Amino acid sequence: MLSLAVTALLGLACCAQATARAGPAARAVRGARTARTTRTTKATTSRVLITQTTQNLSELVRPLAARRFSAATRARPGQPVIAIDDSLRRQRFFGVGGGMTDSSAWLIWTQLPPAQRDALMKLLFSPSGAHLSFLRVPIGASDYTHDATPYSYDDLPAGETDPQLTKFSVAHDEAYILPALRAARTLNPRMYLEGVPWSPPGWMKTNDALDNIDHTGALEPRYDGAFAQYFVRFLRAYAAQGVPVNGVAIQDEPNEPNPYPGMQLTPAHEAILARRYLRPALRSAGLPVDLFGWDLSWGPLGPDDPLVRAAAQGALSGLAWHCYFGRPGDMARAHAAAPRSVQIVDECSSGANDAFPTAELLISSARNWANAVGMWNLALVPGGGPAQALGYGCAACTGIVTIDPRTQRYTLSRDYWQLAQFSRFVQPGAVRVESPNFVSYTLGALRHYQTVITPGLDDVAFVNPDGSRVLFAYNNSPKAIAFAVRWRGSSFTDTIPGHATTTFRWR
């Protein structure tokens, strides 16, 4: 797979590269307001570059024959027409990527020979690779630790406390997590990095432990201020190690009764943390990072939800979401209630029972106001893991990359190639523009309240900071679909194979 991957990606070296940093997510929403620009009515003859990845991976980000917009081209009766209106500007987008968990960093940094490791990092983060621009890193342990051992940055024997955080240390991360993050940032300086705790130190919680078994691990209100300072210490420690963090979420999947790190935290308590403790602590420390609430599956959060109100009032930069339940339209509902806030999907794992092909996740999330989209683990072993409780929270989950420590080789997944189809061409800072789609995202009770996507052609369009246009399309059906693309008085036609992902670029 290595030689095939390098050939497929290096063959695209002439393609447009990202040229502008998106910046903190709080600034990204400046593109979220609908704005009209001067409309060009003159027909265009722009040349359209096309790349494609097929379901069976026989084509991997493969350049296809170029098309050209023409005033004479017309869609056939009954064909879908993707009419792009780039005078209607939506949200600013700052990246797609995945999770640099302890397990992923350990596999990438310690279980591959240096040459293989460097090649994989380039395939993930360099302009000649997938050019991923969003990474989520746990603050302390998640469920995915390489030795199945949970940890925080201020662990103490049972019964002891450290409200002043005198024993705080990120030394655990110095062997492979921080080096992997530094290497990723070197390859892609426009990387947006989000930090998220699965649990604060156990002494801050009612069960004096990192887990949340039987919902017993609530944050004690007397440690709200210490928890806020825990974020400040983390951000400063990482910055001192050459890894500046752009944003943090308050808690991963609050209220989940996990045997691995987790915490009981109500939306009301989380909103209090944001308003009274975290935002003031970050401001006082001179840390202009984004602050996200929720960090849980899609749900119908309305204007009266404490976290939506906190986002509308500016205590939170926005909300973070997972894809496992609910539907992407829940983000649009939150956006309507807090239009200046940022929406990010920072976890969606592929594997058994996943509702979303990665290409469909990217489209449906962006169409519903997401400013960034992240898959879960960047790398896992062939059977999933290593993890503290493998299968408990993520049955049969797979990584963007599979690494086999026995053979010291890696394999790129379909998720990788679909991410590459997007992130190589949609630059950080791109603005979504108006385009129609031809599928719906409905809620299916028979699938455990997961999104059900109807078959058909789905798409999302952007204008990059360098002025180029990108149309990202996916055929969510087994049969080929012929369609037309219309822009500024001209059109071209194309056919997308069943379950293929295709990217169109022009100026």
According to the 3-state scheme, what is the secondary structure of 437-454?
CCCCEEEEHHHCCEEEEC
Statement: residue 38 has pLDDT above 50:
no
The answer on 87 and 100 residing in a single domain is no
Structural domain contains residue 227: yes
Looking at 348, 376, 404, the residue that finishes a domain is 376
The answer on 135 and 23 residing in a single domain is no
Question: In percent, how much of the chain has pLDDT > 70?
Answer: 90
The answer on 291 and 368 residing in a single domain is yes
Query: At residue 399, what are phi and psi to the nearest 5 degrees?
Result: -95, 165
The answer on 371 and 317 residing in a single domain is yes
Structural domain contains residue 279: yes
Which amino acid, 461? Answer: A
Q: So what's the pLDDT on residue 300?
A: 87
- Cα gap 88→133, rounded to integer Å: 25
Q: What value does the CA radius of gyration of the chain take, rounded to a whole number of Å?
A: 22
Flag the least confident range among 6-15, 99-108, 352-361, 388-397.
Answer: 6-15
Whether 348 and 356 have beta carbons less than 8 Å apart is answered as yes
Structural domain contains residue 164: no
The average pLDDT across 211-227 equals 98
- Region of 171 (left: φ > 0; alpha: ψ -120 to 50; beta: rest) is alpha
Domain count, the chain: 2
Structural domain contains residue 246: yes
Nearest one of 405, 428, 334 to 31, comparing CA atoms: 428
| Residue ranges making up the domain that contains 123 | 95-156+191-376
Host H or E run for residue 34: none
The answer on 110 and 66 residing in a single domain is no
Residue 336, CA distances (Å) to 329, 339, 370 in order: 11, 5, 13
Structural domain contains residue 413: no
Residue 443: Cβ-neighbour burial (10 angstroms; 0-12, 13-18, 19+): middle
In Å, the largest CA–CA distance within the chain is 77
Structure confidence at residue 7 as a pLDDT band (50, 70, 90):
very low
Q: So what's the pLDDT on residue 497?
A: 98
The answer on 256 and 127 residing in a single domain is yes
- Cα gap 273→186, rounded to integer Å: 34
Structural domain contains residue 401: no
Given the DSSP bridges, would you call strands 247-249 and 290-297 parallel, antiparallel or unpaired? parallel
Structure confidence at residue 10 as a pLDDT band (50, 70, 90):
very low
Structural domain contains residue 482: yes
Interaxial angle between packed helices 358-367 and 414-423, expressed in degrees from 0 to 180 and rounded to the nearest 10? 40
Structure confidence by residue, pLDDT tens digits, 427-438: 999 999 999 999
Whether 505 and 482 have beta carbons less than 8 Å apart is answered as no
Flag the least confident range among 88-97, 100-109, 274-283, 322-331.
Answer: 322-331
Structural domain contains residue 441: yes
The answer on 129 and 71 residing in a single domain is no
